Chains A and B, each alone.
Chain A
Amino acid sequence: MGIGRYTIRRILQTIPVLVGIVTITFFLTDAIPGDPVQIMLGPSPSARDIELVRAKYGLDKPLWVRYINYLADVSPIWLWPKATFPFVELQTGVDLGKSIYYSVPVTQKIMERLPVTLLLVASAFVFAIVTAIPLGVLSAKRRNKPTDHVARVVSLIGVSTPSFWIGLMLIIVFAYHLDVLPATGLILPWANPAEVSGAENRIHILMLSFIHLIMPTITLGTLQMAAITRIERSSMLENLSEEYVRLARAYGVRERTILRKHAFRPAQLPIITIIGLNLTAALGGSVLTEVVFNINGMGRLIITAINNQDYPLVMGTTIYYGMVFVIGVIVTDISYAYIDPRVSYGEAEA
């Protein structure tokens, strides 16, 4: 089985998970107390208005009908039964409904916020990987030497510190006391210079974007950095004592080549897995980071949605969170298969 077929199989495998996400989200949201219609219409609306709005949002139908409808709306392709030949109607397109609070389509609101969160998470992972891999390799190479001890203490503290607190500490030091970095907001690198105050051209935008990203990136990335450092270290140590590394040594391969090639490449396999799995933690962490730095991303969106009982928006954001994770896992799985030939050939160790 080639890497192409592996990819397709992997994508198909995620369909039940996506259906599961929609299901959990739907029923969880339905259980949120309070009537969204009441919120929408304000105090003492007329009974007729309530009826109309309920009908408009389909809230008058029984739960299971709403569930099926929602599933049909959310899925890109859906066969809808009908009375006449050919007895099924093909519906395409994704419809997450309209936000009650913002009065705009949910998809529109999400598309506005999603790039911000993705930028933040991507930047955090880049920071984590770029610092953690050299640190982990160095730590393994100098096992039980001072470098190793420092790296291990740093990573232990890193996995034990609440990210939002790191953010606040950074703000106290770098925004308030040193006044070198902005404490709030985020500017997208592709933003229009005309819409950003204090920016005249593209270069300004990029610089502003970079400066705004520094603290949120460290806030969100520290946990990942620490986690990856720990895995990189133990994975390198394990690989350095593998038989194939001993064999390379017995054939006169340089220690540097062993570290950079023979032990390094197989040692990255667990890192890829952990990046995929930790994506869910990072997406959750981004909610906190966005709150700390007042960044208008998905995290603040979902909290606004929950606080205002905006059903469609809660469901929409949760589904998008799930989808981002699922796509991330597929990407990591495929890169895993790319590095480890055993996976794409569809067999484990013989």
Chain B
Amino acid sequence: MSSEPLLQVRNLTTQFFTEEGTVRAVDGISFDVYEGEIAGIVGESGAGKSVAAQSIVRLVEEPGEIVDGEVYFKGEPIVEFEEDDDGDLAPTDAMLTNEEMRRNIRGREIAIIFQDPMESLNPVYTVGGQLREFIEINREVGTSEAKAIAVDMLREVGIPDPESRYDEYPHQFSGGMRQRVLIAMALACEPSLIIADEPTTALDVTVEAQILELVDELQEKYGTSFIWVTHDMGVVAEICDRVNVMYLGEVVEQAEVDDLFHDSHHPYTEALLASLPRPDQTVEELNPIEGVMPEAINPPSGCRFHPRCPEAREVCARIHPDNRDVSEAGERTHRAACFRNDAFDVGYDESPPLEMTAGSGFSAGLTGETDAEAESGGEAE
């Protein structure tokens, strides 16, 4: 791993301007992705994970808009803001134009895999035709060569008899097979980074396991970096190197996957981990996180997690914690946004505990919940 990150995200802020008000879907997140690693973004429905992923390639749809922050990819400014003469934030001149993004970044350098394989392929064109088109665009090869690459790639992702399946239509493929096609599509363009936005959420568990294994294998073979967006801590454990935990548009903890699982510094991460179903548990023993995540349109004051946090103190409702370095000696960077950590000096220990306000019977269990619709629908509208 090189020391310079492949992708640097700093204070990225994306908002949706709706009739009801401004939704702060992504509210100043920062993280890095290094070459050859799989970085996870994990959180509940509506945490802003998908919007964060879309913001990185500047594909946020109306009425959403990136309003602040920086995203550098291989040093190129994908997103860059500065204050203009009136003191308002405006994109800098150096920031890549939409045309440059389309021509040089999207597909070619950063490819995306969407969450619903059933909807991601155009029903009226053949699978091979769609693959070939994207390869032609992003690798500047002729039609026949693109076809050869496509067939090879289909074989690579484990599609049997790729020559004949090349001419078939998406409806002739199963969900798992379509997701393999989308992975082939991403890899065939030879990007440096692949953003996988909940790619296995719509699949059943056995197919999910196969896909994860395939990605693990291919990632090692091609050395491509991944950003893996998911709500499932189990997937994180299986595939990710580093993890960014998101809650209500903010990154609340980031660490190496082992550190996060064994030494988490944020109650939300703990709750996420506790909610993971284990084979020795019955349904009654599951530990869903109490309460429902509030709307990003009107986030709670102070720490956004405090209304649901079992360890919230009075200070948590007052002051907003930033994401600070809490690494211990010998650990790689570990950051968390919780006053329980010694890195904060706001008088957490002296502060009186808060009464829990949530937990009124609803339980937003993370287990087995598909937050596909809630995620895109809830935030995009």
Contact = CB atoms under 8 A, between A and B. Distances in A.
A252 interface: yes
Given A241-B61, A247-B112, A342-B169, A252 B106 contact: yes
Contacts of B122: 244, 248, 262, 265-266
B169 A250 contact: no
A253 B118 contact: no
Interface string A148-159: 000000000000
A339 B122 CA distance: 12
- Of the listed residues A248, A250, A339, the one surrounded by the most CB atoms of chain B closer than 10 A to its CB is A250
A242 B125 CA distance: 14
A337 to B, nearest CB: 11
Contact of B133 (A243, A253, A266, A342): A253
Contacts of B105: 252
Nearest to B376: A243
Interface in B84-135: 102-103, 105-108, 111-112, 114, 116, 118-125, 133-134
B114 A246 contact: yes
A165 interface: no
B59 A249 contact: yes
B124 A252 contact: no
Interface string B121-156: 111110000000110011000000000000000000
Contacts of B61: 241, 246
Nearest to A243: B119
A349 B178 CA distance: 13
B119 A250 contact: no
Most chain B C-beta atoms within 10 Å of own C-beta, residue among A246, A251, A340: A251
Contact of B118 (A246, A247, A349): A349
B351 interface: no
A347 interface: yes
B236 interface: no
A160 B101 CA distance: 45
A118 to B, nearest CB: 30
Contact of B114 (A241, A243, A269): A243
Interface residues of A, number: 25
Contact of B123 (A247, A249, A252, A266): A266
Contacts of B106: 249-252
A265 B124 contact: yes
A253 B137 CA distance: 7
Nearest to A255: B102
Contacts of B172: 345
B119 A341 contact: no
A269 B107 CA distance: 29
Contacts of A250: 57, 59, 106-107, 111-112, 114
Nearest to A247: B120
A248 B103 CA distance: 13
A254 interface: yes
A350 interface: yes
Nearest to B169: A341
A97 B59 CA distance: 67
Contacts of A246: 59, 61, 114
Nearest to B103: A252
A124 to B, nearest CB: 27
A241 B103 CA distance: 21
Which of A241, A243, A262 has the most CB atoms of chain B within a 10 A radius of its CB? A243
Contact of A341 (B102, B103, B124, B185): B124
Contact of B171 (A242, A243, A345): A345
B341 interface: no
Contacts of A269: 124
Nearest to B101: A252
In this complex, which of A244, A247, A248 has the most chain B Cβ atoms within 10 angstroms of its Cβ? A247
Contacts of B119: 242-244
Contacts of A350: 118, 171, 174
A262 B59 CA distance: 17
Nearest to A249: B59
B189 interface: yes
B198 to A, nearest CB: 12
Given A342-B169, A347-B171, A251 B134 contact: yes
B134 to A, nearest CB: 4
Contacts of A244: 119-123
B171 A342 contact: yes
A243 B123 contact: no
Interface in B158-212: 169, 171-172, 174, 182, 185, 189
Nearest to B110: A250
Nearest to A342: B171
A243 B174 contact: no
Nearest to A349: B171
B175 to A, nearest CB: 8
B102 A254 contact: yes
B335 to A, nearest CB: 29
Contacts of A339: 124
A342 B126 CA distance: 11
A345 B171 CA distance: 9
Contacts of B138: 251-252
19 contacts: A242-B119, A243-B116, A243-B119, A244-B120, A244-B122, A244-B123, A246-B59, A247-B114, A247-B121, A248-B122, A250-B57, A250-B112, A252-B102, A252-B103, A253-B134, A262-B122, A266-B122, A340-B124, A341-B124
Given A254-B102, A345-B169, A345-B172, 20 more contacts: A241-B61, A243-B116, A244-B119, A246-B114, A247-B121, A247-B182, A248-B122, A249-B59, A250-B111, A251-B106, A252-B105, A252-B107, A252-B108, A253-B102, A253-B137, A262-B122, A265-B124, A339-B124, A347-B171, A349-B118
Give the 10 A-B CB pairs with smallest separation, nearest first: A251-B107, A243-B119, A252-B107, A252-B106, A250-B112, A341-B169, A244-B122, A251-B134, A243-B120, A342-B171
